[in-house]
Structure formats: structure tokens, C-alpha cells
Structure 1
Amino acid sequence: MNKTSVPSSPLDHPVGPTGDTPDAAADRTPAQPPAWSAARLALTAFFAVDGFLFAAWVVRIPDVRAQVAASHSALGLALLCVSAGAVATMPLVGRLCVRYGSRPVTVASLTLLALAVPLPAHTHSVASLGAVLLLFGAGYGAANVAMNSAAVDLVAQLRRPVMPSFHAGYSLGGLLGAAVGGLLAGVLTTAWALALGGLLGLAVTAAAGAVLLRTPAAAPHTPPAGRSTAAPTATGRRGLPHARLLVLLLGLTALCTAYGEGALADWATLHLTDDVHASAGLAAAGYATYALAMTAGRVSGTWLSVRLGQRRLMLAGGLTAGAGMLLAALVPSVPAALAGFVLVGLGLANLFPLAIAQAGAAGGPRGVATASTLGYAGMLIGPPVIGFLADASSLPTALTTVAAAAVLAGLLALAVGGGRRGAARPGTPGGAGDTLRDTPAA
């Protein structure tokens, strides 16, 4: 590679007050939008309503199960249709985002999800429930790929590491959806609750979609005259073997992170009641503390990315989550377990959003689709793997695999960052120079 035109690393250059190198500052577009632009607010609203709608459905699963008279195994098969619909849709949506743009596909996907949310309340057999959950999963998977693709573009436009803030919106929406759903469980029927949730989703989609679609998207980055174009953009790098390997490694990072999220969602409460001998109330509070810690971690994720750099933040997150999971799994004490779950939530909080952001920078919407699909696979395999290992040994021992996966996710950030020295000019939006750099980007 011609070293006269491509610097070896962002760390070889002084960093300006905004976190940019001098070359990056020279490339900054004059009309950089403010940190909280209308497009960012609208896209955050999409993430929030996505989390709200999913939580609104989850809290009504017991009612729907009674309605269709499903056994545990039959319900498990029906719920698997959500995942099947999502995984089948994600690669297709990546191609649609390339062709039509991420923002219109985001609006269409959230519309489909909002329309699908009320349908489970009107099913009366396991087969019909599975069919509508396929549609629900398709909308959910499409929304996640399209929203993240739009977020990757907006991160490049803002030139700030704000991806965690979007996922904080999702977490806050999920907490709100679960809280509202629980409060209304004894007041509204399942049909009314899900119908109102769907109407709220359509209203937010219409309002936020109008803002998002009329706000100009980021223009492709064009180097100034005389500047080497050796650093390919996200669009130009999608077909390169290096970019594909990068997306794969980032997808594995998302998989390891989602493995822990899925495992804790299904097994944390049982571990607290059966192994730590906590009361039912404390056991419920255990998962709530984990969820709140993850939300707090994502709210502070942009600030931490600026101060530490994305690679250091991901490594620290993986090690923190690993230590927290070992504490929660192996120390038979309620305070220790709760403290461990807080550490797990804080540690895992930013691994997934940063991995998806970097996959989008490396491979565009198709990179987001690939990493999201791998991440969703981790969410799928986590609970059954933990169950199998728990039967073979014990649940605390099985939960230590969450610690191993979290540490591996953090170490993968080192592997990704270490493989890109000299790959591109630092500061290029979507270029390799943005990938897990340690130079803080303001």
C-alpha cells in the first residue's frame, strides 16, 4: 500500500479539540448538523416505539397462551415463529435498504410491525398464532435492520459516536412498554391493550416518519481535490474480502452479546429463586436491575465512546460483563447476584450497538443485516444452550458461559481494531479509519 497517501493509524496524528485529526477536520462538510438534529430525534423515536411494541406483546404472552390453549412446548414453537420471521426477513431488508434507502424502509417496517401487534389477540389456535407471529417477526426484524442502517448513516453525517443513544431509546421504550402493559393488565383486555399499542405505534411512525423522510440524508463523502481516494467508503468496500471478514467478526461480537442478553432474559429470575434462594419479589427485581443498568449504560454510551474510544469501551464492557456474570453465577448471595447483574447490564450495554454501527460502516445496509442476523442467532441459541448445560451440570455453571461469551465479545473488538491499521484515512465517514478506533470521535 502506498504509505505516502494513507497514514498508518489515527494514533499517528494529533487530535484536534473535536476529536478529529487535521485531515479529518479538513474533510468535514461545512453544513454539519447539530448533535440533536430533527432526524436524530425522529430516529430515536422509532427505536423507542420498536422497544415499546415488542414489550407490549411480551407482557401479554400468558394471556394469549391461555386464549389458544397452548402447552409449553406448543407455545415455544409458536414463539419461535417470531425469530423465524425476523431471521428470514433481515437479509432481504438489507438489499431493500441499498435499493430504496434506509429511511423509507424504516417507515414501512415500523408500519408493518404496528399493524401486526394486535393480531395475536385474535387467534384461537396455535397454528394461527404461529402464522401471525411470523408476520410480527418479519416486521420486527425488518425494523431493526432498517433503523440500524439509517442510524449508521446518521452517525457518519453527525461525525459523533451516537449509536448507543438510539439503542438507549429502544431500552427505554421496552421498559415503558412493560410498565404500561403491567399496569393495564387488569384493566384492559389483551385485544384492547394490543390494539391501542398498535395505534400508538402507527401515530409515532406517521409523525416521526414525516420528519425523517423530509430531512436530507447524508451526502456521499467526496475527498477534496488532490486528496488520495485510496480510502474506500462503506459503499465501495462492501465487496472487498477484508470488509466481509470485518462484518463477520463484528457479527460474532453481536452474537456473543445477544447470547448473554437472551440467556439472562430467560434464566436470571430462575437462578435467583432456585440457586440463590431469593424471594419472588427480589427475583423479579434482579432482572429489572439488569435492564435498568443496560439502559443507563446505553444512555451514557456516547459520552463513554468520546472519552474512551469505541474499541476500549467494547473491551472494558466485555470484561465488566464477564466479571459481573461470574459474581452473579458463583456467589450464592442475593446482594452479590444483584450487583453482578448490574455489572452485566452495564458491560453488555454498548457492545451490540457499537458492533452494528461498525458493521454498517464496513458493509453498508447489507453489513447491518449480516451482523443483525448473527446477533439474533445469539439471542435464539442462548436460552436453549443454557438449559441443556444446566441439565448436564447446574444452572450456575451454565451461566458462566455468558461470562465467557462477554469476554470473547470484548476481545473480538481488539481483533477487529488490530486488523485495520493503515486501512484508511482516519475520520472518513464509514471508512475503515472509523472502525473501532481508539481516537475519541466527538
Structure 2
Amino acid sequence: MLFATNGALIGGVGGTLPALRERLDVSASGLSLLLFCLAASAVVSMQIGGRLADRIGARPVALVTLTVLTLGVGLLAVTSSLPWAIVAMVLAGLGNGAMDVAMNSLGVEIEQSRPKPIMSRFHAFWSVGNLTAAGTIVLIARLFDRTGGSNVGPSLGTLCLAGLASIAVCVRIVPTGRRIEHKTDGVRTAIPRLAWALGLMAFCFGLAEGTAVDWSSVHVTDVARIDPSTGALGLVAVSGFMVIIRLLGDQAVAKVGRRAVVRVGGVTAIAGYLVTVLTDPLPLLLIGWALVGLGVGLVAPQVYAVAGHVGGGRMLAIVVTFGYSAFLVGPAIIGQLVEHFGVQNAMILPLVLSGCLVAVSAVLPRDDQVQQANP
């Protein structure tokens, strides 16, 4: 419930940006300012939320920040001025950042109480929530296109109501999180150095995933020279196969371990990006983006799970920040590469970073070592 609601609310914000730009009457720089406020406040709250989750338990942090995120989306639904939209984005970012860390911390705790992994399924529900938000926005947009009104308020208002309903349910069903002291003989322990290696991995898969989500449709449209509505199949391939592999990823982890799953995911993403760089026909491009979706979909849940198992909320906050930052800045970097080198050559960067991900995966501890390192 937490993962799906977060995915739906964040997907709603991203999906309504074009219509929000028209309603606020701002340029691309205005939208950039809004996105910067969302990202900056999220990064700050991740660090605070991770430490609070360790100190008081992840449950209250998750529930409070879900409420803040929902209020931010609700304010964005009703505002028609840039200053209030900035306030709404800051609220949404504060809620999203800490909630991201808290719900992953809860996921790790639940996984520790089970005989088999479950983190991939949690992330699958985030993707399902994201896709549900996109479908909701498309349906409401078509309805309001006929009546001539803006779809921002109805779309975000609907998702906000869903968020409020989710809060009512989560208060009853979300388990109490445990507290983590991070002390040995009364002395506070340092954050494990593994956090920075996991952060590098998070940056690599964050940029690879962000590129796939934001640029796959443009890539397919331009390279295959087809109309944009058909090119959108690129995003369908990425998102659809990402959901599928996340629903199945826990079974793979149970059989071969997290390190092997991450390596297979990275190699699969490399294969997918190679196809996008070297081929032109539409069927091959869709196969390439499907492979990218399969690959990146496998990686994130495992890296976040290792961070939570080894170092608790504060370590998870660092790793999530790296991934979140890459997901946000990556598409802009790709945009500059597209402008100077073309959309097909731009895909070489996520290809290289996928290779870096495979190389750095050697530092991942074995699953039995992860269990022994639980804080």
C-alpha cells in the first residue's frame, strides 16, 4: 500500500507537468524551478527521515510523510500561482524523500522476518502505482479535452483522495518498525564504507532507469522514424517489463542470491542499450527497451535491500539519495548529449554506466554475510 500510493502520487505530479505549465503560464525554466524544489527538499528529508526511522521506528515516519506528500499534491491540485506551486512542490518533496527511505526500511524489516525475499515485489507495486497514475491522468485528460477545462485539478485531486484513503488503511495495517541504535559499547558506530559503493551503484542504475523512462519514447520515435503515439510503445516496453521482472525478482534472489541477480540485471541492461545504439527497426528497438526494463527492474530493490540490511535507515538514506539524484539529473544530461550527438549515440552513457554497475557489484556481500551484518 505504501509503495503503490507513493508511486501513484509521484507519477501524478510528473504526468501533469505539461498541463500545469499551461495553467501557471510558466516557461520551461519555471518547470525546472518546480522540479528543483521537489528534488532539493526530497534530498534533505531523506537524510532526516533515515535517521528518524532508526531512532523512533519507520512506521511513524512513513505515515507522517505520506500525509505530507498527499497534502503537497492536494495543494498543487488547487493552486494557480507559481509561488504556491513552489510551496506545494516543497511539501511533496519533503514527504516523498523521507517516505521513500521509511517504506524501504519497513520493507527490509519485513523481509528479515520472512524465510524468503520480498523487496522486489514492494518495488513492483511502486511501478504499478506509477502506471495507474498515468492511466488516470490520460482518462481524465481526454474527458476534460472535450469540455475545454484543465485536467490538473481533477487528476491530482483524484490521486490526493486516493492518498487520503490509503492513509486511513495504512494506519491500521502498517507494522511497528524497530529502533536501531548504531552503537557499540556506548560509542556511536560509523556508517559502513559499503554505503559509498552502493551509492555509486545506485547512481548508475538511477541514470539508466531515468533515461529509459524519460527518453525511450523519443528514442523510438526518432530512430525508427514513426509517429509519437507509436513511439510511446518504447515506454510501455520499459515500464511493463519492469513490473513483470519485479514481481518475479524475489524468486530469483531466493535461488541465486542478490549479487548474481544484480549482475544479471546489469548485463541485461547492457544488452538492451546495445540494441538501442546499434539498431533501427521498430521491433528490435522495442526488444532493446524491454531488455533495459528487465535489467534495471532487477537492480534497485536488491541494492536498497542490502543497504537497509547492513546499515539501517541512515545508510539507506545515503544510497537512496544517490539513486534519486541520478534519476532526476540523468535525463537532463542525456538531453544535452542528444542535442550534440543525437539520440542514438546518447544511449552510450547509460550503456557504460550499466557496465560500471556490473563491475562494482563485486563488492556486494553474500546473502549470509548480509544477514550477519543486520544492525
Answer yes or no: same fold by TM over 0.5: yes
Change (3 A) 1:246 1:425: closer
Are 2:246 and 1:298 aligned?
yes
Residue equivalent to 1:349:
297
Identity of aligned residues (%): 32
Residue equivalent to 1:381:
329
Residue equivalent to 1:364:
312
Residue equivalent to 1:404:
352
CA deviations on 1:172-215 (whole Å, 9 max, x unpaired) are 11111111221122336422332221121111122122112xx4
Residue equivalent to 1:74:
30
Change (3 A) 1:92 1:425: closer
Cα RMSD (Å) of the superposition? 2.4
Q: Out of 57, 66, 73, which is 1:101 matched to?
A: 57
Change (3 A) 1:398 1:235: farther
Q: TM-score, normalised by structure 2?
A: 0.91
Give distance in 1, aligned partners of 2:15 and 2:369. 48
Are 2:91 and 1:143 aligned?
no
Give distance in 1, aligned partners of 2:89 and 2:232. 26
CA deviations on 1:105-124 (whole Å, 9 max, x unpaired) are 11111111111112123333
Higher radius of gyration, 1 or 2: 1
Higher helix share: 2
Residue equivalent to 1:182:
138
Task: Tell which deviates more after alignment, 302-311 or 179-188.
Answer: 179-188
Residue equivalent to 1:131:
87
Give the total of aligned pairs.
368
Are 2:190 and 1:201 aligned?
no
The answer to whether the Cα contact below 8 Å between 1:85 and 1:137 also exists between their aligned partners in 2 is yes
Residue equivalent to 2:7:
51
The answer to whether the Cα contact below 8 Å between 2:54 and 2:179 also exists between their aligned partners in 1 is no
The code of the aligned residue for 2:158 comes to L
Q: Out of 214, 219, 223, which is 1:271 matched to?
A: 219
Residue equivalent to 1:62:
18
**Secondary structure at the residue paired with 1:300?**
helix
Change (3 A) 1:425 1:346: closer
Give distance in 1, aligned partners of 2:115 and 2:360. 24
Give distance in 1, aligned partners of 2:83 and 2:71. 19
The code of the aligned residue for 2:372 comes to T
Change (3 A) 1:236 1:318: farther
Residue equivalent to 1:430:
374
Give distance in 2, aligned partners of 1:391 and 1:199. 40
**Secondary structure at the residue paired with 1:187?**
helix
Q: Cα distance, 1:390 vs. partner?
A: 2.3
Q: Cα distance, 1:289 vs. partner?
A: 1.1
**Secondary structure at the residue paired with 1:158?**
coil
CA deviations on 1:367-404 (whole Å, 9 max, x unpaired) are 11010111111112211211222233222111111111
Q: Cα distance, 1:329 vs. partner?
A: 2.4
Q: Cα distance, 1:235 vs. partner?
A: 6.9
Give distance in 1, aligned partners of 2:3 and 2:183. 24
Are 2:265 and 1:313 aligned?
no
The answer to whether the Cα contact below 8 Å between 1:325 and 1:344 also exists between their aligned partners in 2 is yes
Give distance in 1, aligned partners of 2:68 and 2:178. 26
**Secondary structure at the residue paired with 2:76?**
helix
Change (3 A) 1:147 1:164: same
Give distance in 1, aligned partners of 2:39 and 2:183. 29
The answer to whether the Cα contact below 8 Å between 1:157 and 1:429 also exists between their aligned partners in 2 is no
Change (3 A) 1:426 1:89: closer
Q: Cα distance, 1:102 vs. partner?
A: 0.5
Give distance in 2, aligned partners of 1:429 and 1:92. 23
The code of the aligned residue for 1:430 comes to N
Q: Cα distance, 1:274 vs. partner?
A: 1.8
Give distance in 2, aligned partners of 1:429 and 1:154. 16
Q: Cα distance, 1:58 vs. partner?
A: 2.3
CA deviations on 1:226-254 (whole Å, 9 max, x unpaired) are xxxxxxx977699656x521111112111
Q: What does 1:223-238 correspond to in 2, within 5 Å? A: none
Give distance in 2, aligned partners of 1:257 and 1:247. 15
The answer to whether the Cα contact below 8 Å between 1:94 and 1:365 also exists between their aligned partners in 2 is yes
Q: What does 1:105-120 correspond to in 2, within 5 Å? A: 105-120=61-76
Change (3 A) 1:387 1:190: closer
The answer to whether the Cα contact below 8 Å between 2:213 and 2:238 also exists between their aligned partners in 1 is no
Structure 1: runs of 5+ lacking an equivalent: 1-44, 221-232, 432-442
Residue equivalent to 2:129:
173
Give distance in 1, aligned partners of 2:269 and 2:171. 36
Change (3 A) 1:361 1:87: same
Structure 2: runs of 5+ lacking an equivalent: 145-150
